[in-house]
């Protein structure tokens, strides 16, 4: 497994869940790449870690490029690696080059439709086998003339499950009975803009006096300071610290379980559903809406607004959707239960790890 870093994010969380599921299937994972907050979690999972500087900034230097490729090749040799699985650019390119020289097959999981076409063509030229995490990503790759295997993100249902969040509620001083909306995402690019819309929509609901609402924002990124400033302004305006900025969290299931409604996309949507929580899906691409039973499969086809969407999000649209969803606690709970059953049936990490192992086996057999 090769990644830029072990920072907190959907890709890193997904790779960790694979790393945990693989050993029981006879696949022994090794990690190479930059370090980060999730280092300890990978160590606890029993995954050997080789630290290699693979950030985009480091790889701008041609001398560092050669060094990175050489170091990765050394790790592959010493660990007797059979297959290399990459997840990001540009780190993946140097891992693919090193693997190619050693005759080792390479799998490249494409986690979104944000990779520039020229980078994807480079990976194709390097002999990678592509995996798409969603139908829109698969269609995006098809448009570049790149075939791919569709293997969705898997969720660890032992980690993400329904449980009490009373201690966390008390710690955040949120009174019993007051509604909680959780927004979880990297605070960067379009997702930071959506976060700002959620905060402003919550302010309007709060000021209207119709609903004693709290918002929890979990995540960080290059727009975190801008969001923090907005939160401070809104809390002052409403004369209540009702928006809680909690930063990156390693125990996200605690925060999902605190929410009456989770606003998110992609992997966040699946993790929240695994915890039995209803999801208002809004992502990088745009607005999808409340994910309830008639629309489960459609939400997956859009990857919960991250890779495709129905419309552009707006403060007003989000405010209406939150108010409407929170109006009926019974309906919300039922939606959460149905979503949990659907997620378990379609996105269990063991099933996805098995699919991945089958792909690995087919490539190793081809490789002789």
Q: Is the pLDDT at 23 greater than 90, yes or no?
A: yes
Q: Is the pLDDT at 193 greater than 90, yes or no?
A: yes
Q: Is 278:321 a contact under the CB 8 Å cutoff?
A: no
CA distance 265 to 210: 27
Domain range for 341 = 166-346
Q: Tell whether 41 is covered by a domain.
A: yes
243 sits in which H/E element: strand 243-247
How many domains does the chain contain in total? 2
CA angle (286 as vertex; 332, 276 as ends), nearest 5: 25
Q: Tell whether 159 is covered by a domain.
A: no
Q: Tell whether 161 is covered by a domain.
A: no
Mean pLDDT over residues 232-259, rounded? 97
Q: Tell whether 129 is covered by a domain.
A: yes
Q: Tell whether 248 is covered by a domain.
A: yes
Residues 107 and 227 placed together within one structural domain of the fold: no
Place of tokens 């059953």: 341
Q: Is 131:108 a contact under the CB 8 Å cutoff?
A: yes
Residues 229 and 286 placed together within one structural domain of the fold: yes
For residues 129-164, one letter each, b for 16 or more C-beta atoms within 10 angstroms of the residue's C-beta and e for the rest, the string is bbbbbbbbbbebbeeeebebbebbbbbbbebbbeee
Q: Tell whether 262 is covered by a domain.
A: yes
Instruction: Work out the percent of the chain whose per-residue pLDDT is above 90.
Output: 96
What strands, in cross-sheet order, belong to the sheet with 261-264?
243-247, 213-218, 179-184, 261-264, 279-282, 287-290
Cis-peptide, bond into residue 312, ω within 30° of zero: no
Helix axes 189-208, 315-326, angle to 10 degrees: 60
pTM, to two decimals = 0.96
Residues 252 and 107 placed together within one structural domain of the fold: no
CA distance 273 to 267: 10
Q: Tell whether 323 is covered by a domain.
A: yes
State both tokens at 142: 């098809």
Residues 186 and 312 placed together within one structural domain of the fold: yes
How far CA 286 is from CA of 8, 74, 186, in Å, comes to: 23, 43, 15
How far CA 327 is from CA of 260, 323, 333, in Å, comes to: 11, 6, 12
DSSP state of 155: B
Q: Is the pLDDT at 282 greater than 90, yes or no?
A: yes
Residues 199 and 183 placed together within one structural domain of the fold: yes
Residues 144 and 8 placed together within one structural domain of the fold: yes
Q: Is the pLDDT at 172 greater than 80, yes or no?
A: yes
Q: Is the pLDDT at 368 greater than 80, yes or no?
A: no
State both tokens at 20: 């945990």
* Residues in Cβ contact with 129 at an 8 Å cutoff, skipping those fewer than 6 apart: 105, 106, 107, 108, 149, 359, 363
Residues 128 and 139 placed together within one structural domain of the fold: yes
Mean pLDDT over residues 328-348, rounded? 97
Q: Is 213:238 a contact under the CB 8 Å cutoff?
A: no
Q: Tell whether 160 is covered by a domain.
A: no
Q: Is the pLDDT at 367 greater than 90, yes or no?
A: no
Residues 117 and 265 placed together within one structural domain of the fold: no
Residues 134 and 39 placed together within one structural domain of the fold: yes
Q: Is 149:131 a contact under the CB 8 Å cutoff?
A: yes
Residues 69 and 217 placed together within one structural domain of the fold: no
Mean pLDDT over residues 248-267, rounded? 96
Residues 193 and 341 placed together within one structural domain of the fold: yes
Q: What is the pLDDT of residues 32-48, one digit of tens each?
A: 999 999 999 999 999 99
CATH of residue 37's domain is 3.40.50.2000
How confident is the model at residue 299, as a pLDDT?
Answer: 97
Residues 173 and 87 placed together within one structural domain of the fold: no
């Amino acid at each position: 497994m090769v990644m830029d870093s072990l920072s907190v994010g959907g890709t890193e969380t997904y790779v960790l869940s694979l790393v945990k599921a693989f050993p029981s299937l006879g696949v022994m994972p090794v990690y190479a790449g930059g370090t980060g907050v999730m280092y300890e979690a990978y160590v606890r999972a029993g995954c050997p870690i080789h630290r290699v500087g693979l950030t985009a900034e480091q790889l701008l230097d041609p001398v560092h490029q050669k060094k990175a490729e050489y170091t990765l090749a050394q790790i592959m040799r010493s660990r007797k690696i059979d297959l290399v699985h990459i997840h990001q650019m540009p780190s993946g390119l140097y891992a693919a080059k090193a693997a190619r020289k050693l005759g080792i097959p390479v799998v490249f999981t494409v986690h979104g439709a944000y990779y520039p076409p020229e980078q994807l063509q480079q990976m194709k030229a390097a002999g990678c086998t592509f995996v798409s995490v969603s139908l829109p990503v698969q269609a995006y790759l098809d448009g570049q003339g790149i075939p791919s295997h569709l293997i969705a993100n898997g969720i660890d249902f032992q980690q993400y499950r329904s449980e009490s969040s009373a201690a966390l509620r008390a710690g955040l001083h949120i009174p019993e009975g007051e509604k909680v909306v959780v927004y979880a995402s990297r605070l960067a690019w379009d997702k930071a803009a959506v976060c700002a819309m959620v905060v402003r929509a919550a302010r309007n609901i709060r000021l209207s006096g119709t609903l004693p609402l709290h918002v929890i924002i979990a995540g960080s990124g290059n727009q975190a300071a801008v969001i923090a400033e907005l939160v401070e302004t809104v809390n002052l305006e409403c004369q209540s610290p009702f928006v809680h900025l909690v930063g990156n969290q390693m125990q996200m299931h605690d925060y999902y379980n605190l929410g009456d409604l989770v606003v998110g996309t992609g992997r966040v949507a699946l993790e929240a559903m695994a915890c039995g929580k209803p999801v208002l899906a809004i992502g990088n691409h745009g607005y999808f809406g409340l994910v309830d039973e008639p629309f489960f499969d459609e939400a997956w086809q859009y990857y919960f607004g991250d890779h495709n969407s129905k419309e552009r999000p707006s403060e007003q649209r989000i405010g209406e959707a939150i108010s409407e969803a929170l109006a009926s606690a019974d309906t919300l709970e039922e939606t959460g239960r149905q979503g949990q059953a659907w997620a378990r049936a379609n996105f269990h990490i063991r099933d996805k790890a098995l699919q991945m192992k089958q792909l690995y086996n087919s490539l190793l057999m081809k490789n002789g």
